[in-house]
């Protein structure tokens, strides 16, 4: 049994608190919102973001970060990516030396191009930081539907520690040393999922979806490998696995936002309609900036940026992608001599 805190009471944080409590751990859930904490205390259910999933009476809910962070075996950081730095700043004074923190959000900071674990390490240098990612919608995890994720950390001992705390018969956890690859896959797939949703909104079919998934993972892999990540990571859970589920699932907020844009809604209105943080919108500029920095061609990510921030037409963007110059699928493969 471990003492675990979940920082962030959104749908993902709430679902993970159910996993952790079910594993026999003592769980504390923190939110900056007093009204959210009062709702959780009163109903033991997140009525807005994870309705129908009951939280055990033993769970503790608080707005006090000192209570949430003091003397914990593990801290799970589950706030949206745009709040990772500000929350880390608030946490730093109350986090003890060698405290293990596992970040479960997905994103890249736009102005610094830092991954979320890099932000946490900068703001909470005394902590040991891990990441967890994979094809894992909160709605299904909360219902104990079989799910697999991967935990990344610099030290194998840290990764195994997190793995052991989370793993059970319906939540399987693998480990990997490729922290950067895990984070890039998790962040950039949200941008491609916006494109997949746009195609759905236009009424396109399975062929189009399959093309976006396969060419999207190709873009992510090219960039990741150029940045020093392992190619195997992008063929795994946080690469193709997360991309498939985010592009195809009814639970995907990125796909839903993209679909609304494909149906003619402007990006701001689409995000308001989804009523949850659409991580792909916040990662799109950073993804393109990284591609430019490392000299990698990312046509799908480029077109998503044009639609989000330059007023480009969704339909025109698809046409431009389809009419790009003829290319080989993979360069460097040998042809037989005539």
For 289-323, the pLDDT digits (tens) are 999 999 999 999 999 999 999 999 998 988 888 88
Could you tell me what percent of the chain has a pLDDT over 90?
84
Orientation of helix 11-22 relative to helix 156-166, angle to 10°? 80
pLDDT of residue 154: 96
List the single range of 74-88, 157-171, 210-224, 271-285 with lowest mean pLDDT.
271-285
- Rounded to the nearest angstrom, the gap between the alpha carbon of residue 32 and the centroid of all alpha carbons in its chain is 21
Average pLDDT over residues 26-47: 96
Q: Scanning the structure block, which residue is given the tokens 């309609």?
A: 273
Given pLDDT bands bounded at 50, 70 and 90, which one contains residue 134?
very high
pLDDT of residue 318: 84
pLDDT of residue 59: 96
Q: 338 pLDDT exceeds 80?
A: no
**Model pTM?**
0.93
Query: Would you say 109 and 286 are in contact if contact means Cβ atoms under 8 Å apart?
Result: yes
pLDDT of residue 63: 97
* Beta-strand runs (E) in the chain: 3-7, 26-30, 45-46, 50-54, 60-62, 74-77, 100-103, 128-133, 147-153, 171-176
Q: Which residues lie below 8 Å from residue 78, measured CB to CB, with a gap of 6+?
A: 6, 7, 8, 10, 12, 13, 16, 104, 105
Q: 194 pLDDT exceeds 80?
A: yes
For the chain, the average pLDDT equals 94
pLDDT of residue 268: 86
Q: Rounded to the nearest 10 degrees, how much is the dihedral formed by the CA atoms of 20, 234, 111, 192?
A: -100
Given pLDDT bands bounded at 50, 70 and 90, which one contains residue 279?
confident
What tokens were used for 150? 């991967």
Average pLDDT over residues 51-68: 95
Q: 277 pLDDT exceeds 80?
A: no
Could you tell me what percent of the chain has a pLDDT over 70?
100
Given pLDDT bands bounded at 50, 70 and 90, which one contains residue 226?
very high
Domain ranges of the chain: 3-177, 180-322
Q: Is 279 left (phi over 0), alpha (psi -120 to 50) or beta?
A: alpha
Instruction: Catalytic residue, from 189, 209, 256, 285: name it.
Output: 189
The CATH superfamily label for domain 3-177 reads: NAD(P)-binding Rossmann-like Domain (3.40.50.720)
Which of 182, 280, 278 is closest to 237 using CA atoms? 182
Given pLDDT bands bounded at 50, 70 and 90, which one contains residue 331?
confident
Given pLDDT bands bounded at 50, 70 and 90, which one contains residue 280?
confident
Average pLDDT over residues 172-193: 96
Q: 97 pLDDT exceeds 90?
A: yes
Average pLDDT over residues 271-290: 86
Given pLDDT bands bounded at 50, 70 and 90, which one contains residue 84?
very high
Catalytic residue at 189?
A: yes
Query: Would you say 231 and 221 are in contact if contact means Cβ atoms under 8 Å apart?
Result: yes
Length of the chain: 338
Cα gap 226→296, rounded to integer Å = 8
Looking at residue 112, the DSSP 8-state letter turns out to be T
CATH of domain 180-322: 1.10.1040.10
DSSP 315-332: HHHHHHHHTSPP--SSTT
pLDDT of residue 76: 98
Query: Would you say 146 and 187 are in contact if contact means Cβ atoms under 8 Å apart?
Result: no
Query: Would you say 276 and 316 are in contact if contact means Cβ atoms under 8 Å apart?
Result: no
DSSP 151-177: EEESSHHHHHHHHHHH--SSEEEEEES
Cα gap 7→2, rounded to integer Å = 16
Average pLDDT over residues 96-125: 96
């Amino acid at each position: 049994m471990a003492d675990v805190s979940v920082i962030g009471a959104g749908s993902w944080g709430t679902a993970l608190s159910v996993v952790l409590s079910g594993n026999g751990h003592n769980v504390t859930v923190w939110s900056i919102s007093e009204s959210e904490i009062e709702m959780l205390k009163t109903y033991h259910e997140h009525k807005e973001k994870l309705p129908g999933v009951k939280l055990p009476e033993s769970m503790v809910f608080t707005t006090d970060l000192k209570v949430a962070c003091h003397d914990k075996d593990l801290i799970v950081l589950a706030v949206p990516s745009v709040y990772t730095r500000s929350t880390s700043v608030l946490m730093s004074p109350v986090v003890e030396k060698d405290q293990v923190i596992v970040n479960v959000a997905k994103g890249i900071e736009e102005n610094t191009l830092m991954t979320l674990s890099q932000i946490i390490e900068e703001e909470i240098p005394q902590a040991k930081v891990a990441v967890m990612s994979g094809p894992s919608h909160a709605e299904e995890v909360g219902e104990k539907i079989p799910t697999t994720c991967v935990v990344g950390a610099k030290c194998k001992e840290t990764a195994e520690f997190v793995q052991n705390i989370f793993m059970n018969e319906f939540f399987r956890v693998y480990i990997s040393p490729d922290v950067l690859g895990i984070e890039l896959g998790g962040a950039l797939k949200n941008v491609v999922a916006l494109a997949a949703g746009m195609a759905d909104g236009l009424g396109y079919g399975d062929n189009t979806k399959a093309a976006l998934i396969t060419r999207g993972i190709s873009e992510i892999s090219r960039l990741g490998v150029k940045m020093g990540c392992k190619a195997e990571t992008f063929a795994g859970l946080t690469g193709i696995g997360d991309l498939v589920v985010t592009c195809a699932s009814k639970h995907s907020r990125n796909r839903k936002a993209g679909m609304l844009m494909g149906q003619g809604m402007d990006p701001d209105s689409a995000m308001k309609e989804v009523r949850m943080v659409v991580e792909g919108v916040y990662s799109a500029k950073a993804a393109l900036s990284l591609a430019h920095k490392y000299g990698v061609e990312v046509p799908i990510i480029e077109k998503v940026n044009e639609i989000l921030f330059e007023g480009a037409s969704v339909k025109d963007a698809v046409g431009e992608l389809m009419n790009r110059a003829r290319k080989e699928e993979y360069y460097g493969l040998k042809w037989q001599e005539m």
